[in-house]
């Protein structure tokens, strides 16, 4: 069985300790590949190499245009090898093969977008209105960037960081989730083959708890960009404080999906289903908190329950499968504990909630689950389950203003602020709600789409960074002011 190696100082290498980790296919729990398990010494070697390349290597001497061309070639490779890369993604995550391949298309679009940005992103000239002075703002790379990724969209989350970080001229140390190393490992090969300086890319595989602190505490790492859970994000922010490095955090969400009675009901219900159950709810922006107008609650919830019960779970490559398993046994236990607690606190399981038996029993499957009778004091409406679990709350009011105010209060009653949606046929209400909801992305009459030119990121404890769009590039740039006096003269302040 193949072992994926680390990429350090221009070479694929085993871990110094020789340790390896077995990677499971979550649909049946079988080991399908092995990966080197990096330790602290590997992390230090990766930092030293990335530092050396940044300080004295060739990568920072390349131009934006040259780096953009490399990103374009990477995008073309991804498109050409989409089926195989999609297969790797499905094997590591258990997601359906259709989703695995669709992810690769999205990844390619991110590389293409930042390839285009090579020509769009200039500095700016400042007009100081002083004779002989030229003043300009230039964009420079931040330095050595540690990029730490989660397991739900391994290559996609990597691309949101890797493409802008490389375009800006940084050197990078990638650390995918220990559960899903394959596609980031393959991307490393593609990056090098398509022209990225070998020292500009380092790859660490394995436990974040082991190598993470080495990266986040090192004075030789200038920035950490992290996508993952809130608890890990907090600890990364704290450990990065000692060196005041730049920290960009993309964390979890408990995302409200608000449906008013005047919405297009067919579209709202269908998208509510996709919003929460796509990829078995393991999506940071999953519409996990349904907030529905009281008068249509029964209609909406009955239909959702009926359709949720019919979602076809199964292995990635099986015909007709609509969603896969959860990532691991441990993660399924967490989701089950979340549902148990919800029941203890008074929620009622309307559908799902039981681990499937029969042919799915070997994998880490958990069925689409809907919790009714949820109230705002329950943990389930505030905490992220990161599984296929939908909570239902209602709002009402005697007037339109009251209804909106009530819906809004519930939608904003969360310590997260990643994403949300509002469903209504009233354009004014849609705009008012979208502006007042404190979440980084708001969909009006839709759920889940995103595009590479539009920023993505969270408010409140969903994080402090923005990925994609021009801001996603700015995350990886230092802004420098250069003041040039072409007519130097004594300042004349001190007279003696």
Minimum distance from residue 180 beta carbon to ligand NAD (Å): 8
| Helices 427-436, 400-411: crossing angle, 10 deg rounding | 30
Complex with ligand NAD: residue 114 or 456, whichever CB lies closer: 456
Q: DSSP string of 376-387?
A: TTSGGGTS---S
Complex with ligand NAD: residue 90 or 385, whichever CB lies closer: 385
- Kindly provide the b/e burial profile for residues 59-79, where b requires at least 16 CB atoms within 10 angstroms of the residue's own CB: bbebebeebbbbbbbbbbbbb
Task: Provide the annotated active-site residues.
Answer: 250, 284
Complex with ligand NAD: residue 174 or 263, whichever CB lies closer: 174
Q: Which residues contact 425 (CB under 8 A, 6 or more apart)?
A: 262, 263, 264
Complex with ligand NAD: residue 149 or 390, whichever CB lies closer: 149
Q: Tokens 């398509």 sit at which residue? A: 194
What is the C-alpha to C-alpha distance for residues 438 and 432, in angstroms, rounded to an integer?
Answer: 12
What is the C-alpha to C-alpha distance for residues 163 and 186, in angstroms, rounded to an integer?
Answer: 15
| Helices 97-120, 64-80: crossing angle, 10 deg rounding | 160
Please answer whether residues 458 and 467 qualify as being in contact, where contact means their C-beta atoms are separated by less than 8 angstroms: no
Write out the two tokens for 210: 């082991």
Candidates 393, 427, 390; CA nearest to 408 is 393
Complex with ligand NAD: residue 130 or 451, whichever CB lies closer: 451
Minimum distance from residue 52 beta carbon to ligand NAD (Å): 23
Contacting positions for ligand NAD (CB under 6 A): 148-152, 157, 175, 177-178, 208-209, 212-213, 216, 227-229, 232, 235-236, 250-253, 284, 384, 386, 418, 458, 463
Complex with ligand NAD: residue 204 or 407, whichever CB lies closer: 204
Minimum distance from residue 38 beta carbon to ligand NAD (Å): 10
Q: DSSP string of 216-275?
A: HH-TT--EEEEES-HHHHHHHHHHHGGGT-EEEEE-----EEEE-TTS-HHHHHHHHHHH
Q: Cα 455 vs. chain centroid, distance in angstroms?
A: 12
Minimum distance from residue 247 beta carbon to ligand NAD (Å): 11
Backbone angles phi, psi at 4, to 5 degrees: -75, 135
Please answer whether residues 391 and 374 qualify as being in contact, where contact means their C-beta atoms are separated by less than 8 angstroms: yes
Complex with ligand NAD: residue 78 or 204, whichever CB lies closer: 204
Judged on CB neighbours under 10 Å (0-12, 13-18, 19+), 361 is exposed
Minimum distance from residue 408 beta carbon to ligand NAD (Å): 22
Please answer whether residues 158 and 176 qualify as being in contact, where contact means their C-beta atoms are separated by less than 8 angstroms: yes
In this structure, are strands 256-259 and 289-293 parallel, antiparallel, or unpaired?
A: parallel
| Helices 265-277, 297-309: crossing angle, 10 deg rounding | 50
In this structure, are strands 124-126 and 133-141 parallel, antiparallel, or unpaired?
A: antiparallel
Complex with ligand NAD: residue 262 or 455, whichever CB lies closer: 455
Minimum distance from residue 229 beta carbon to ligand NAD (Å): 3
Strands laid side by side in the 201-203 sheet: 11-13, 6-8, 201-203, 171-175, 144-148, 223-227, 246-250
Complex with ligand NAD: residue 97 or 151, whichever CB lies closer: 151
Minimum distance from residue 366 beta carbon to ligand NAD (Å): 15
Minimum distance from residue 284 beta carbon to ligand NAD (Å): 3
Minimum distance from residue 208 beta carbon to ligand NAD (Å): 2
Complex with ligand NAD: residue 45 or 286, whichever CB lies closer: 286
Minimum distance from residue 32 beta carbon to ligand NAD (Å): 19
Please answer whether residues 190 and 78 qualify as being in contact, where contact means their C-beta atoms are separated by less than 8 angstroms: yes
What is the C-alpha to C-alpha distance for residues 324 and 25, in angstroms, rounded to an integer?
Answer: 11
Q: Tokens 């990161």 sit at which residue? A: 386
């Amino acid at each position: 069985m193949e072992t994926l190696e680390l990429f350090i100082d221009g070479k694929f290498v085993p871990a110094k300790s020789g340790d390896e980790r077995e990677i499971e296919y979550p649909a049946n729990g079988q080991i399908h590949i092995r990966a080197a398990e990096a330790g602290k010494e590997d992390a230090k070697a990766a930092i030293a190499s990335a530092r050396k390349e940044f300080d004295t290597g060739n990568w920072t001497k390349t131009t934006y245009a040259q780096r953009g061309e490399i990103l374009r070639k990477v995008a073309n490779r991804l498109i050409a090898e989409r089926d195989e890369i999609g297969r790797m993604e499905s094997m590591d995550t258990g997601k359906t093969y259709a989703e695995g391949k669709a992810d690769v298309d999205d990844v390619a679009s991110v590389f293409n977008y930042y390839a285009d940005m090579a020509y769009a992103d200039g500095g700016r000239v400042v007009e100081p209105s002083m004779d002989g002075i030229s003043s300009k703002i230039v964009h420079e790379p931040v330095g050595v960037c540690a990029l730490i990724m989660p397991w739900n969209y391994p290559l996609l989350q990597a691309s949101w960081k890797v493409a802008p970080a490389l375009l800006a001229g940084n050197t990078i140390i990638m650390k995918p989730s220990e559960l899903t190393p394959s596609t980031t490992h393959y991307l490393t090969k593609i990056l090098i083959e398509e022209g990225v300086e070998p020292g500009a890319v380092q790859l660490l595989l394995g436990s974040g708890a082991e190598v993470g602190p080495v990266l986040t505490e090192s004075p030789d790492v200038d920035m950490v960009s992290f996508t993952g859970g809130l608890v890990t994000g907090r600890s990364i922010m704290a450990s990065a404080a000692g060196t005041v490095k730049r920290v960009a955090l993309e964390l979890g969400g408990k995302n409200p999906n608000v449906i008013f009675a005047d919405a297009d009901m067919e579209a709202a219900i269908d998208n509510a289903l996709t919003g929460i159950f796509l990829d078995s709810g393991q999506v940071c922006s999953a519409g996990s908190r349904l907030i529905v107008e009281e008068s249509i609650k029964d209609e909406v919830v009955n239909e959702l329950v009926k359709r949720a019960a019919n979602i076809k779970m199964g292995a990635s490559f099986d015909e007709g499968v609509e969603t896969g398993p959860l990532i691991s046994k441990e993660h399924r236990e967490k989701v089950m504990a979340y549902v148990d607690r919800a029941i203890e606190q008074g929620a009622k399981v309307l559908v799902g909630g039981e681990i499937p038996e029969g042919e799915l029993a070997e994998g880490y499957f958990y069925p689409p689950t809907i919790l009714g009778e949820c109230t705002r004091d329950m943990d389930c409406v505030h905490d992220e389950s990161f599984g296929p679990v939908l909570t239902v709350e209602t709002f009402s009011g005697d007037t339109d203003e009251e209804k909106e105010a009530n819906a809004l209060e519930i939608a904003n009653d969360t310590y997260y602020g990643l994403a949300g949606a509002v469903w209504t046929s009233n354009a004014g209400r849609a705009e008012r709600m979208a502006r007042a909801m404190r979440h980084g992305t708001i969909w009006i009459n839709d759920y889940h789409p995103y595009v590479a030119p539009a920023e993505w990121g969270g408010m409140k404890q969903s994080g402090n960074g923005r990925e994609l769009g021009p801001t996603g590039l700015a995350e990886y740039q230092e802004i420098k002011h250069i003041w040039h006096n072409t007519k130097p003269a004594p300042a004349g302040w001190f007279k003696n």
